[in-house]
């Protein structure tokens, strides 16, 4: 039977084992650095698209979004029928096929009217008057899956089977758009 040593050998044995214990700590630090590196790599890779890791209201971002972006970022509905661009100060979504007609354009709109909706941070949602479109702006792999959300600043959009809804989380104003209709609130 082996008995533990005590007395005069206990301290030298402890000193002899201490460097190995520190190596164990070094492994934990390496794991942390590796995890930090992975996070940094993901952030650097995503920076080109304006994406960052999801936050919960940090830096004024919309709380609870699946993805938070800091610059103009295009995305689409899973079907590709709705194309959007979101940035911290605005979001715009255009629709390709719809079962509704927009109202008559305002007198000051000399371009296409009603092909989508837009929302400015702190403002109200309105139908689009523009000569361009957000359709096709997103990479085909940049669809927002049903049930997920994207945010920029205080603007947040959610994808569902019934369409895309966007709102300003501070004012509560926003819109929904789908093949069946749209709503400005």
Q: What residues contact 72, with CB distance under 8 A and at least 6 apart?
A: 50, 85, 86, 87
> Is 0.95 topped by the overall pTM?
no
For the chain of 185 residues, list the mean pLDDT of each consecutive stretch of 10.
Answer: 40 37 38 30 26 42 82 96 97 97 96 97 97 89 94 98 97 98 97
The pair of three-digit structure tokens given for residue 69, joined into one six-digit string: 């972006």
Collapsing DSSP to helix, strand or coil, 75 comes out as strand
* Residue 138, pLDDT score: 83
Distances (CA, A) of 159 to 24, 52, 54, 122: 46, 19, 16, 22
Residue 76 belongs to what H/E stretch? strand 73-76
* Residue 63, pLDDT score: 63
Report domain extents, the chain.
7-47, 52-184
Q: What residues contact 111, with CB distance under 8 A and at least 6 apart?
A: 129, 130, 131
Collapsing DSSP to helix, strand or coil, 37 comes out as helix
Largest CA distance in the chain: 99
């Amino acid at each position: 039977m082996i008995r533990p040593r005590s007395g005069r050998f206990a301290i030298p044995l402890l000193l002899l084992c201490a460097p190995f214990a520190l190596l164990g700590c070094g492994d934990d630090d390496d794991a942390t650095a590796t995890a930090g590196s992975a996070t940094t790599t993901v952030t650097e890779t995503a920076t080109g698209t304006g994406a960052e890791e999801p936050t919960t209201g940090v830096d004024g971002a919309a709380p609870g979004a699946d993805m938070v972006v800091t610059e103009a970022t295009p995305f689409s509905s899973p079907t590709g029928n709705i194309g959007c661009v979101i940035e911290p100060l605005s979001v715009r979504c255009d629709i390709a096929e719809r079962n509704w007609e927009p109202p008559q354009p305002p007198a000051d709109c000399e371009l296409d009217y009603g092909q989508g909706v837009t929302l400015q941070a702190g403002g109200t949602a309105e139908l689009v008057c523009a000569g361009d479109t957000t359709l096709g702006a997103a990479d085909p792999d940049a669809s927002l899956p049903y049930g997920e959300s994207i945010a920029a600043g205080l603007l947040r959009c959610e994808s569902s089977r019934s369409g895309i809804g966007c709102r300003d989380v501070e004012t509560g104003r926003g819109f929904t758009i789908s093949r069946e209709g749209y709503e400005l609130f």
